[in-house]
Structure 1
Amino acid sequence: MTQTSGAYEQSRLTPDRLARLATRVETGGDRPSIPVQTPITDTEIGTIPACSDDDIVAAVDRARQAQSAWAETPVESRAEIIERFGDLVDEHRDNLLDIVQLETGKVRQHALEEVVDIPATCSYYASNGPAELTDSGRAAPIPLLTSASVTYDPVGVVGVISPWNYPLTLSLTDAIPALLAGNAVVCKPDERTPFIALALGELLEEAGLPDGLFQIVTGEGAAVGPALIDNVDYLVFTGGTETGRTVAERAGRNLIGCSLELGGKNPMVVLDDADVETAARGAVTGAFTNAGQLCLAPERIYVDEDRYDAFLDAVVSATENLTLGHSFDYGPDIGSLISGDHLDSVREHVDSAVEGGATVATGGRARPDVGPNFYEPTILTDVSPDSRIICEETFGPVVSVVPVSDAEEAIERANDTEYGLNGSVWTSDRDRGRAIAREIDCGTVCVNDPYAVGWAAIDAPMGGMGDSGLGRRHGPEGIHRFVESKTIATSRIGPLDTPPSVPHSVTARALTGLAAVQRRLSRLIR
């Protein structure tokens, strides 16, 4: 189905519903309004307030006041609220899907990936988070006479700056462990996709989260971001690399921690023993999910020359079977890009590559007949290794397919980038795939899957190397970033110094002997 008008009519939403959500943003008075457009039709669906610096400070203050009591709440009680929130997200799935689709223009099956992610994340941290926050004993310098333990305190108020491409998942996937750890959260969603974060805030309240703990501020990033970074105790940012550098610099000046998931120019390596049809299916799934507006999507595919022709035929055929369009039911395969500006950027990347000698194997055109911001899934060949399409993130439904002589060349080409977010290896020998995955410089490398098996492994950390970011979400690492570890060391014999009646030489011999015993014990334990 092609949607060219009447976005509201085909959804289960009304303008009044979004207007009520916008009133959840607390401001100190009348503020200028920012229009929010749906990329489906390029028409306005609502407005949000442009928060001022004073509004940001007030939101952080409200969060900080609520956080003190929340930190004293037993972690088991916090986990129950997080679990209930996950259940509510599942119960309100259709409504949330409609909001995500209306704001982003993505097709329903791609929006569903976001909605099912949140309950899974809630269940993981509700089940596993409390153990990660429990005091732990550590080895002490003099066994029996001294002890050491580590406790974990929440950092305080966590700021979350979330992007437009996955506004449901990325507004809450970091907030969930932050809240469980006893923090408050102030979320700044992208101004193009604010309503889904507001709807999630409503569900958090319904789940029993105390008032004030999850604040939402709205506005353009350049206007709102600095005040947020200057007032919170930790900052999570997901977005572009250049903006990420600015965020990291400001966080550094404020001496607060930050985690950043930034851009990627992700490689996909197809080895000489790969099943061509399986690899082609994975390439299409990975490269064109959410119209390629996915930081984990493969944009460079390196194929062993013995598999190249067969792979190219298979991936072109599979791509040409995809359908473009929009429906609030399950139907079309590929949805809209987020805006006309982004469409122009994707088109410029492809046009530049073609001017440099690349060949369009399929796609390569905007599709205004489908909608104002649609672009065909595109496969390029004969690309120059130093072209923009190889070196810069396109963030659209465009992928380059390049032949390589062997696995060694594939690894070298895969690592020839400043980015290091996600990669994949395709082979019939999984042990070989895992061995080659270790050679690829990315925070996550999947074998025989483009990205989902890595993202869905919530117990394992996810993040980037190089220009793809700092820190990790998911797993124990995903909750430890939101706490300050504190060591409490105790002596049963008073201060560890030389008693007044004992010569220093005797103490020196005793300490030397004790250290030697400790080293021997450590070696025996190993």
Structure 2
Amino acid sequence: MRQGFTHTIAGKGEGSAASFEVINPATGEAFALCPDATREQLDRAVAAARQAFPAWRRTTQEQRREMLRAFGEAVRARTDEIAELLTREQGKPLQRAKEEIQRSLVNLAGILATKLENEVLRDDARGRVELQHHPLGVIGAITPWNVPILLAMPKIAQALYTGNTIVLKPSPYTPLTTLLLGEIAREHFPPGVVNILAGGNDFGRWMTEHLGIDKISFTGSVATGKRVMASAAGTLKRVTLELGGNDAAIVLDDVDVKAVAPKLFWASFGNSGQICQAIKRLYVHEKIYDELCAALVAIAGTVKVGEGFEEGVLIGPVQNKMQYDRVLELLADTKRQPGVRILCGGDALPRPGYFIAPTIVADIREGTRLVDEEPFGPVLPVIRFSDADDAIRRANDTRFGLAGSVWSSDEARAKTLAEQLEVGTAWINHHLGVEPDVPFGGFKESGIGREYGADGLKHYSEIRAVSRPIIPPRPAAAPGAKP
């Protein structure tokens, strides 16, 4: 049982009297103990962040950029160590864990290349008005278990780059790699600027209620996001919520099935389907429906599912027992639906851990739980349509609105349809991929606010208008007059 992990509070490592087990989803057994932070430790972390804030916000943007760059390079130097731990606690294949760390560093670099400058609203006869972006203070960040490093790094970067300090809580399912980030951060930032503590669900509520935290940046489920917003309302905290997405891809009848099938498969089953903007509903035109279904099933038959350190594994387990049980429950409900066909998979694999075979479901419609809810696992419903406008209507008929895509050999046709999707990100002939210079977030219940890009950075600051009237010139003095 691995031990020795510590929180980062005021620039120092610190344990807790209590701890909780961290489960390896490939075995279903605990492999490490994580310290369980107390409310008193949170109070001290927030106090340290508040104490560090005045000096930190006075640093220049370039100074903050250089410290964040050095932090990123230190993370890069420990990629192998972090990736090994990430595979054990999250379950993804080791190579995918390394790629997650690499992508987080690409996003860090992109954030640091983004400019957030004051804007002159007007400068005319009425006067000059300048809009300034003022840091909020202490950011409370809460990250999920599906891509813990990929989501922790940009929250740290955006908070610090805009002059804020941060208190970050990782998911209790995957806390250890994020605690390692805190360990690295101690060597690169003044004490109190970065604080990372692990704890259970109560810890998240303590954060959202805390008087000393000025904003919550949360990534997770819709249900939890609503609780975060309700809790934060008591202190009128600013919130950014990047929530779930039951994202649709619409495939028109003119695509090259062989060319698009692998792209659609991995946009659905990457990370075992545990990506918020992954394809969760695949709408396929009736003319190519059977052909595309067959192509997806063929790909699924070649993919090795297993423990992340096994040679050739491409899909790992569902990350935790609660999510595993939920996906199996949705599959059981799906099997009871009349006329629905399970083309491949459909069951748990007969081995330890939380493994479910990649599952493709055909002849299913809206009104079933698998289509209407977000499964967040290796299960893909494939839905038949005959009219593209009807497919758009059906794709939009949901409380979700994170992302979506349209696939066609006619790019102009695809663009016309994609612009009708009620989503924060609409892709054409591809799906997945958050870019650090492009704002990301959702419509409807898929979130509030944006991360990334200049718009994302603005959500980590408050706008202050500085207004200065034009001072009329003094009249010239009369000749011989005393000054």
Confirm or deny a common fold (TM above 0.5). yes
For residues 311 and 63 of structure 2, the distance between their equivalents in structure 1, rounded to whole angstroms, comes to: 38
For residues 68 and 209 of structure 2, the distance between their equivalents in structure 1, rounded to whole angstroms, comes to: 25
Aligned pair 1:489/2:467, yes or no?
Answer: yes
Contact 1:305 1:406 (C-alpha < 8 Å) held by counterparts: no
The verdict on how the C-alpha distance between 1:333 and 1:153 changes in structure 2, with shifts beyond 3 A counting, is same
For residues 329 and 127 of structure 1, the distance between their equivalents in structure 2, rounded to whole angstroms, comes to: 38
Shift of 1:227: 3.7
Partner of 2:363: 382
Partner of 1:50: 36
The verdict on how the C-alpha distance between 1:229 and 1:114 changes in structure 2, with shifts beyond 3 A counting, is farther
Partner of 2:432: 451
Q: Which amino acid aligns with 2:196?
A: I
Aligned pair 1:68/2:54, yes or no?
Answer: yes
Partner of 2:438: 460
The verdict on how the C-alpha distance between 1:354 and 1:68 changes in structure 2, with shifts beyond 3 A counting, is same
SS of corresponding position for 2:148:
coil
Which runs of 5 or more residues in structure 2 are unaligned?
473-483
For residues 95 and 173 of structure 2, the distance between their equivalents in structure 1, rounded to whole angstroms, comes to: 21
Q: Which amino acid aligns with 2:5?
A: L
Partner of 1:222: 202
The alignment's TM-score, normalised by the length of structure 1, stands at 0.85
SS of corresponding position for 1:51:
coil
For residues 331 and 92 of structure 1, the distance between their equivalents in structure 2, rounded to whole angstroms, comes to: 23
Q: What is the correspondence of 1:168-247 to structure 2 with a 5 Å cutoff?
A: 168-206=149-187, 208-230=188-210, 231-247=212-228
Post-superposition Cα deviations, 1:3-49, rounded to whole Å, max 9, x if no partner, equal: xxxxxxxxxxxx65xx3332546799853211111112122222223
For residues 29 and 298 of structure 1, the distance between their equivalents in structure 2, rounded to whole angstroms, comes to: 40
SS of corresponding position for 1:47:
strand
For residues 119 and 465 of structure 1, the distance between their equivalents in structure 2, rounded to whole angstroms, comes to: 27
Shift of 1:229: 3.8
Post-superposition Cα deviations, 1:303-349, rounded to whole Å, max 9, x if no partner, equal: 11111111111111111111111243762111011122321111110
The alignment's TM-score, normalised by the length of structure 2, stands at 0.93
Shift of 1:144: 4.5
> Which of the numbers 465, 470, 474 marks the counterpart of 2:452?
474
For residues 436 and 203 of structure 2, the distance between their equivalents in structure 1, rounded to whole angstroms, comes to: 33
Contact 1:168 1:197 (C-alpha < 8 Å) held by counterparts: yes
Q: Which amino acid aligns with 2:97?
A: A
Aligned pair 1:117/2:103, yes or no?
Answer: yes
SS of corresponding position for 1:442:
coil
Shift of 1:171: 1.5
For residues 117 and 436 of structure 1, the distance between their equivalents in structure 2, rounded to whole angstroms, comes to: 30
SS of corresponding position for 1:21:
coil
> Which of the numbers 346, 365, 372 marks the counterpart of 2:347?
365
Partner of 2:423: 442
For residues 339 and 29 of structure 1, the distance between their equivalents in structure 2, rounded to whole angstroms, comes to: 25
Q: May I ask how many residue pairs the two structures share in their alignment?
A: 468
Shift of 1:274: 1.3
For residues 380 and 186 of structure 1, the distance between their equivalents in structure 2, rounded to whole angstroms, comes to: 42
Q: What is the correspondence of 1:291-440 to structure 2 with a 5 Å cutoff?
A: 291-328=272-309, 331-357=312-338, 358-369=340-351, 371-440=352-421
For residues 178 and 405 of structure 1, the distance between their equivalents in structure 2, rounded to whole angstroms, comes to: 47
Partner of 1:139: 122
SS of corresponding position for 2:31:
strand
> Which of the numbers 118, 127, 151 marks the counterpart of 2:113?
127
Q: Which amino acid aligns with 2:150?
A: T
Contact 1:168 1:196 (C-alpha < 8 Å) held by counterparts: yes
Aligned pair 1:21/2:1, yes or no?
Answer: no
> Which of the numbers 88, 99, 104 marks the counterpart of 2:90?
104
Contact 2:262 2:299 (C-alpha < 8 Å) held by counterparts: yes
Post-superposition Cα deviations, 1:209-260, rounded to whole Å, max 9, x if no partner, equal: 1121111122112344234442310001111111111111122221111011
Identity of aligned residues (%): 32
Greater shift, 20-29 or 188-197, is seen at: 20-29
Q: Which amino acid aligns with 1:119?
A: L
Aligned pair 1:149/2:130, yes or no?
Answer: yes
Partner of 1:518: none
Partner of 2:479: none
Partner of 2:475: none
Contact 2:6 2:14 (C-alpha < 8 Å) held by counterparts: no
SS of corresponding position for 1:306:
coil
Which runs of 5 or more residues in structure 1 are unaligned?
1-14, 495-526
Partner of 2:481: none
